[in-house]
A and B are shown apart, each in its own frame.
Chain A
């Protein structure tokens, strides 16, 4: 407890591939590791990370340890502890607690760990990558007898598809989730996705299969309408509309440049979904 003296900050950050987070200091690296333990695997200790530690942070001794660890297949927990021990950000008690967390993660099944990674990818808007990871889990035979777990995976997969505007795929996943495990949330998601898809036959199918009335569907529509109106009031929406509008006072060249810039931003956002 007190003021912890900081190490040097790097001019150029290290970008963690899984999350896109930029790391500038050893303290931030320790913080990231501590708070994203499920995300980490042996591939975390990449050449780029070690290069950053050596040249960006000027921690040559730590970089040498990590290099040796990678070369000789050092135990994952030891590698993590090399980093946490290289500065005073976490005290002994916190580090010992973290070792227990790592051991607990280590005791989880690979699929559970993978699910945690996928969930973190979702939280970081890496939807395409999350879809890939959820799909890997669904291919594992061991979950056939774990309906709750499978249901969650299918639901999360559906949510990822919604974020990617792939409503048909999303509906398919929500159906599977609800069929496995009859949770209200899965049904809600399914209906909302169907409303967003705006396809009568798809909606008709859902209503028939799950015995939903028009009044019930109407309630969902009202919720979506309300949320749509809220979005329309948001700054980001208003700014986007303003950028898309062309007024007589704006030259066509300037307008085209603005649109081009927006498209590039959207392309970048889309690409950033992938690791």
Chain B
């Protein structure tokens, strides 16, 4: 395979990182790659899972990650130098190791430095063009921290993306043969923290099509601990069978993916038999990381989208439009499109206020298509002659369901200087669309 080699280093066009609380993974694509390749931490071996564990070597400012971190921690027989459950740390988390305090953002910096450094070393990588990090449920503070950490490693902000596991699932699935996603596609994600079922289906009677992922959390019913003894293993198997029967009764499913360390164990004798009946079943652990890599590759190639709207965790649920006056008629100007990654779904626009005392936003969910209007009053703006107030309207999501609107008074040039007035409103999209 011919690779792009500059200065003896290999050029990586797309890098995917699955950042999960128990294990992380890396996959990559370079020149002439048709699909992502998972990174093994030992060359020639198949050690793809990197425990999400950091270990600080004693008395020197050197860290290690993964199996090496676990081994050193085990040798120490204490966890004083070890950091685990990194994704469960709150934004204001701090800890102290050998008298030095580490915040969560410090820990993220170290983690990404180690993981990306490991990938660079193993691949002998030079330039890495696009990076996509995927995690189960990215919230704003985690995404902000990830961007900050990656920027510190020299990546430009535009070259970084953070996706949810649902989004990575979509990217992975749609890059498989079409027969895989002819009908619904199911995924069971089972690890030490959760047992989650996702179902992808394509709603074809809409234009454009909608790629919809729904999610059910069955973590209360099946836990990783249950696999420790036979009795509870059997219970888990029966419960899984129950879930399969119920979920698949209502939907024609062409493919099922089983991912996560929970499926490494042998406990699914009854359920697997039912699952494999008339369906393709795939077991693996690198679906999300490969999905992330596909997303990075698509971005690198500046490829067009799938021509469909994503509706899943991590994506916005509705179009947000602004009612404006255009040549004497009221029209809705699209500010934010449904199906956009919420972190990237912000918009800014400037308008002149002409004899109105409010801003009207139209929320249009793609599935139901029933619009709702959000009205934000402009009474607190300074009183000026008509058409001499310019406002900046910004929308920014803080999750896929919550959108902050900010309306700033810009005055009107030197005729009317701006005031300090900023009007803020938070839209709970789910509540509005109910």
Chain B residues whose C-beta falls within 8 Å of the C-beta of A13 in the assembled complex: 413
How far apart sit A22 and B333, CA to CA, in the bound complex (Å)?
Answer: 30
A1 → chain B closest CB, angstroms: 5
Is A3 a contact partner of B328 (Cβ separation < 8 A)?
Answer: no
A273 → chain B closest CB, angstroms: 18
How far apart sit A31 and B356, CA to CA, in the bound complex (Å)?
Answer: 19
Is B415 a contact partner of A2 (Cβ separation < 8 A)?
Answer: no
Contact of B387 among A22, A24, A25, A89 (CB under 8 A): A89
A31 → chain B closest CB, angstroms: 7
Is B387 a contact partner of A31 (Cβ separation < 8 A)?
Answer: yes
Is A3 a contact partner of B355 (Cβ separation < 8 A)?
Answer: no
Interface residues of B in 349-371 (CB under 8 A from A): 349-356, 359
Known: A2-B323, A25-B413. A92 touches B328 (CB 8 A): yes
Chain A residues whose C-beta falls within 8 Å of the C-beta of B144 in the assembled complex: none
Chain B residues whose C-beta falls within 8 Å of the C-beta of A23 in the assembled complex: 413
**Nearest A residue to B349, CB-CB:** A5
Query: What per-residue 1/0 map shows which CB atoms of B239-272 lie under 8 Å from chain A?
Result: 0000000000000000000000000000000000
Contact of B324 among A2, A9, A22 (CB under 8 A): A2
How far apart sit A13 and B415, CA to CA, in the bound complex (Å)?
Answer: 13
Best-surrounded residue of B322, B359, B388, B415 (most CB of chain A within 10 A): B415
A27 → chain B closest CB, angstroms: 6
Chain B residues whose C-beta falls within 8 Å of the C-beta of A31 in the assembled complex: 387-388, 412, 415
Main secondary structure of the interface of B (DSSP, over half): strand
How far apart sit A244 and B9, CA to CA, in the bound complex (Å)?
Answer: 69
Is B351 a contact partner of A3 (Cβ separation < 8 A)?
Answer: yes
Interface residues of B in 324-360 (CB under 8 A from A): 324-328, 330, 333, 349-356, 359
Is B414 a contact partner of A27 (Cβ separation < 8 A)?
Answer: no
A187 → chain B closest CB, angstroms: 36
Known: A31-B388, A88-B325, A92-B328. A3 touches B413 (CB 8 A): no
Is B387 a contact partner of A3 (Cβ separation < 8 A)?
Answer: no
**Nearest A residue to B414, CB-CB:** A22
Known: A22-B414, A28-B413, A91-B328. A3 touches B354 (CB 8 A): yes
Contact of B353 among A3, A25, A28 (CB under 8 A): A3
Chain A residues whose C-beta falls within 8 Å of the C-beta of B352 in the assembled complex: 3-4, 6, 27, 89
How far apart sit A91 and B415, CA to CA, in the bound complex (Å)?
Answer: 21
Chain B residues whose C-beta falls within 8 Å of the C-beta of A6 in the assembled complex: 349-352, 390
How far apart sit A113 and B414, CA to CA, in the bound complex (Å)?
Answer: 26
How far apart sit A9 and B411, CA to CA, in the bound complex (Å)?
Answer: 13
A4 → chain B closest CB, angstroms: 4
Chain A residues whose C-beta falls within 8 Å of the C-beta of B415 in the assembled complex: 21, 28, 31
Best-surrounded residue of A3, A6, A23, A89 (most CB of chain B within 10 A): A3
Chain B residues whose C-beta falls within 8 Å of the C-beta of A89 in the assembled complex: 352, 387
Best-surrounded residue of A2, A9, A31 (most CB of chain B within 10 A): A2
Is B323 a contact partner of A4 (Cβ separation < 8 A)?
Answer: no
Known: A22-B413, A22-B414, A28-B412. A4 touches B387 (CB 8 A): yes
Is B414 a contact partner of A3 (Cβ separation < 8 A)?
Answer: no
**Nearest B residue to A90, CB-CB:** B387
Chain B residues whose C-beta falls within 8 Å of the C-beta of A3 in the assembled complex: 322-325, 351-354, 356, 359, 391
B379 → chain A closest CB, angstroms: 15
Query: What per-residue 1/0 map shows which CB atoms of A3-32 lie under 8 Å from chain B?
Result: 111100100010000000111110110010
A157 → chain B closest CB, angstroms: 28
How far apart sit A2 and B349, CA to CA, in the bound complex (Å)?
Answer: 15
How far apart sit A53 and B35, CA to CA, in the bound complex (Å)?
Answer: 50
How far apart sit A24 and B328, CA to CA, in the bound complex (Å)?
Answer: 25
Contact of A5 among B328, B351, B414 (CB under 8 A): B351
Chain A residues whose C-beta falls within 8 Å of the C-beta of B323 in the assembled complex: 2-3
Could you list 24 A-B pairs, sorted by A, with CB under 8 Å? A1-B354, A1-B356, A2-B325, A2-B354, A3-B351, A3-B354, A3-B391, A4-B325, A4-B354, A4-B387, A5-B349, A6-B390, A9-B350, A21-B415, A22-B413, A27-B412, A28-B412, A28-B415, A31-B388, A31-B412, A88-B326, A89-B352, A91-B327, A92-B328
Other than the given A3-B354, A5-B351, 17 more pairs (CB < 8 A) read A1-B355, A1-B356, A3-B322, A3-B323, A3-B351, A4-B324, A4-B352, A5-B326, A6-B351, A9-B350, A22-B414, A25-B413, A27-B390, A28-B412, A31-B412, A88-B325, A91-B328
CB-based closest 3 A-B pairs: A2-B325, A3-B351, A6-B350
